[in-house]
Structure 1
Amino acid sequence: MSELPIKKIIHVDMDAFYASVEQLDNPDLRGKAIAVGGGGERGVVSAASYEARKYGVRSAMAGALARKLCPDLIFVKTNFERYREVSAQIRSVFHEFTDLVEPLSLDEAYLDVTENKVGMPSATVIASWIRQRIKEKTGLNASAGISINKFIAKVASDINKPNGQKTIPPEEVITFLEELDIRKFYGIGKKTAEKMYLHGIFTGMDLKLKSKEYLSDNFGKSGAYYYDIVRGIQHSEVKPNRIRKSLAAERTFRENITSEIFMLEKLEHIAEEVERRLEKSKVAGKTITLKIKYSDFTLQTRSKTLDFYVRSKDIILETAKDLLYQEKMKNSVRLLGISLSNLNTEDRKKKDAAKAVKEEEIDVQMRFTF
């Protein structure tokens, strides 16, 4: 087996991005517990400042619960136009060092700096420079993780948050993974972690002692993934042009809706937004999915796949209507959403995959400047 050069991957993650942007723009909010999102009975927290996190406030938490945990919590409305503006500035910093940048969201990205524009052999130094440039350009703090692949870099970026970085060099990868709490493995959520506990898996070492067959039998298709990552094996490259798999828009209503006539009115606005996003992204899709969240928080999806790609609001809306009438509503509705998947970008993905060269396993014990 031929040896491939070890990659130098950086995962940059902005610290409490939405909340930090709001504090940056409004000095009166600095040092205070703030939450970006809705603070009403039906609102949801999109992001929380570190001052708010001390009280247990987290993203995706109901606004009412967040206010109970932190009575002095200040709610700020989301301003995605501003967040996108700052995100563009941050990405411009990334491209000063490398063009191999894979954005995951507005506030985080992977960078491959194995070969870079500044001729610096140390990925650790580059990560420090990037964080400094982001601070100079935007006034915001970023954290970073540095290692041999995307998985380990992402795990490492959480270790010294906020405003810090952590390098896991090749010679320390195996020990690091063996000692890592299973809950901190990226891709292992709360339910999976609880299931692993039942199998006596609490750390990376516990996971490593299980055979690939055992993991596949008990964790399905993910078993092989778990077997590889605990050994530092991950062949996923940093992809500068990530292919979008779906596009969606949804609305949460101030009051629950019981009338299908009102639902159709809401769906028309949602379909218009989906059409706008499709036009902006220059994509079309075949599969239309209607998302319904009821007042008891149960979630239902209904999908239909067409024989052709669509981008038109009218076709999207008509299909969503058909899906709405597919069966009777079982309760009042608090949220409706429409998504398009099976996009024409998938055709490009298949062509790219056909051209890809299969990577060989990397010897993670190789040393080089990190």
Structure 2
Amino acid sequence: MYPVLQSVDPERTHELVLRLLQGFERAPLLRKLLGKLFVVDDPRLGVEVWGMHFANPLGIAAGLDKNGVAVETWGALGFGHVEVGTVTPRPQPGNPRPRLYRLPADQALINRLGFPGHGAVAVHDQLQRHAGSRPVVGVNIGANKASVEAGRANEDYVRALEQLYAVADYITINISSPNTLRLRDLQGCVALEALVQQVVARRDTMSVRKPILVKIAPDLAPAELDDILHVSTAHAIDGLIATNTTVARPPTLRSRYRRESGGLSGVPLRERATDILRYVYGSTGGALPIIAVGGVFDAADVFARLAAGAALVQVYTGFVYGGPGLARRLLRGVLRLMDAQGLTSIAEIRGLSCGASSSVLV
């Protein structure tokens, strides 16, 4: 069935797959069967970060399940966490269609979705209904397009935090999507500091402290990254996600839609995303937990990101091309790689490949 879906319009395919996964959300016995087929249950894969236990390091990146309709099913497919979103305070339609393109010859996607979604209230209610046997759930928050245009983006991030905090295990501030005009301006030092101060201050009034992460772009220069790291460490940000999609277009792209505007993800992003990860890890001495994402397709990719300093690894485009058995294949492959090197835990992999050149980025 999955190869057949690859021939359908990509956004329509996405909607059909989510509808199927949502069906399992309402059928616990079928979901249990999925778990028997796809979950790799091995204590060596466990990860402890931010005071939470992750069954394994592999998660679903924001964008695949924008409205949180299948969080328990993602766990049954073998993922240790899922990041829902991006969620904005108010519902919005996103950019006009078509806005999602497959680049099969490049194992890539281009999207210019623009944060379409049901809004924070609907996502809160959806996640509240599935607060039981789910994996760790992060919620990726963003600003409505109208708020960004009006210069009120910070208010939206604080509002989204308030609306979704109770149903999230961690919150990610998404300031790096290329598909909302001027959103990436929030990565600048002054703008980011103002935003982070407001969001963290509101978080600190909550009865329970939950981690706040910042998701960064792959298109940043070293000085821009240094500013983000300075703000993040100065204002108690708990971690970074490296990276979002890129606006760059490598000359090696071959697929029909390679010149479409939007964010490019998949294999062409792999090298740059890993370089950013290694730079952040080296610059912080490993003190700031990082979730790696971008071009993760096989077990070697997962192992390489952990070795480059990631605490956790997420997939998006890899799942689109790899299908529902992806987590099982990748995690079994990671275990084989661990056995080959005599490693007994994920923690032993972290930072293995980082040397003196880790904090060099061009």
Same fold? TM cut 0.5: no
Say which one has the larger Rg: 1
The alignment's TM-score, normalised by the length of structure 1, stands at 0.26
The alignment's TM-score, normalised by the length of structure 2, stands at 0.26
